[in-house]
Amino acid sequence: MNRELLITTSFLRPHSGFVGTQQSGRLAYDVQVDLKEVNLEKSFLTGFLTIHGLTEAHPEITTFFRGEIVGPKFSFYTKHPEWGSTKKNDIQHWGRFPSWRKLNFNTDDDAENHQIYKEAKQGEFLYMRWKELFLVPDARIKNIKGASFTGFYYISFNQLTGSISGLYFHKSSDKFQRLDLSHIPDGGISPTYQYA
CA-based nearest residue to 31, from 14, 45, 48, 56: 48
Report the pLDDT value the prediction gives residue 151, as an integer from 0 to 100. Answer: 87
How many Å apart are CA 130 and CA 132, to the nearest integer?
6
Average pLDDT over the chain reads: 87
Q: Determine the pLDDT at residue 6.
A: 42
Q: Where are the domains of the chain?
A: 3-195
DSSP string, 44-88: EEEEEEEEESS-SS-SEEEEEEEEEEBTTTB-SS---GGG---HH
Mean pLDDT of 162-174: 90
- In 3D space, the residue among 70, 47, 67 whose CA is nearest the CA of residue 122 turns out to be 70
pLDDT tens, position by position, 43-61: 999 999 999 987 777 788 8
pLDDT 10s digits, 103-154: 999 999 999 999 999 999 888 999 999 999 987 877 666 666 656 677 899 9
